[in-house]
Amino acid sequence: MFRRIRERRNHQAAQREYEELTQTAHLVPALAEIPDFPETAPGQDAEQDFLPRDLRVPPRDKLAGLMMRWDGPLVVEGEVHACPECGAYRDWVVFLMRESIWLRCPAGHETLEPRLDAAWYNRNSGPLNSLHDTVQDGLKHLGR
Ligand SMILES: [Zn+2]
């Protein structure tokens, strides 16, 4: 694979050089007609170096928000965080919405947690593994 890319780059460099040399002389660039690798459509080369389209994940700043499960007690600044409405202290869903962290308890109460931030979220979350059009779909995916 890498050898082919290198060969192709060498070929392209040689071809450019050749074309520059031949442009002024109005010669037919014969090198371009040597079929030493399969023809590809313009732009296709770059595409092939990436994951298939349906496996790609958009950059985080293009997403409305991120969410993850947090099954154990959530300790914020040395204290176990409890839901202010029902007192639940575990089985959270943690949302990162822009720069804000929201916590959702098992009963569905959602509260802003200003002591946590995007950096905390990024330190504690794994890689993105799914995308959802709605929060409800995301919650279902998380088993909530
Ligand atoms: Zn609650």
Instruction: Tell me the per-residue pLDDT of 72-84, one tens digit each, with 9 for 90 and over.
Output: 999 999 999 999 9
Q: How many Å lie between the centroid of ligand 1 and the Cα of residue 86?
A: 4
Q: Which tokens is 86 given?
A: 């029902």
Residues near ion ligand 1 (Cβ under 5 Å): 83, 85-86, 88, 105, 107, 109
Average pLDDT, the chain: 76
How confident is the model at residue 107, as a pLDDT?
A: 96
pLDDT tens digits, one per residue of 114-141: 999 999 999 999 888 788 888 888 899 8
Q: Quickly tell me which residue has 């959530």 as its tokens.
A: 74
What is the reported pLDDT for 130? 84
Q: Quick count: other Cβ atoms within 10 Å of Cβ 106? A: 13
Query: Would you call 102 exposed, middle or buried from its count of C-beta atoms within 10 A (0-12, 13-18, 19+)?
Result: middle
Q: Tell me the Ramachandran region of residue 112: left when phi exceeds 0, alpha when psi lies from -120 to 50, beta otherwise.
A: beta
Please tell me the distance between residue 119's alpha carbon and the centre of ligand 1 in angstroms.
25
Domain residue spans of the chain: 2-55, 60-141
| Helical residues (DSSP H) of 1-144, grouped into ranges | 2-23, 44-48, 118-124, 135-141
Report the number of secondary-structure helices (H) and strands (E) in the chain. Answer: 4, 6
Those residues with Cβ within 8 angstroms of residue 53's Cβ, 6 or more apart along the chain or in another chain = none
Determine the distance separating the centroid of ligand 1 and the alpha carbon of 8, expressed in angstroms: 60
CA of 77 to the centre of ligand 1 (A): 20
Residue 90 Cα, ligand 1 centroid: separation in angstroms? 10
83 CA → ligand 1 middle, Å: 5
Tens of pLDDT, residue by residue over 9-43, are 666 666 666 556 545 443 333 333 444 444 555 55
Tokens of 87: 């007192």
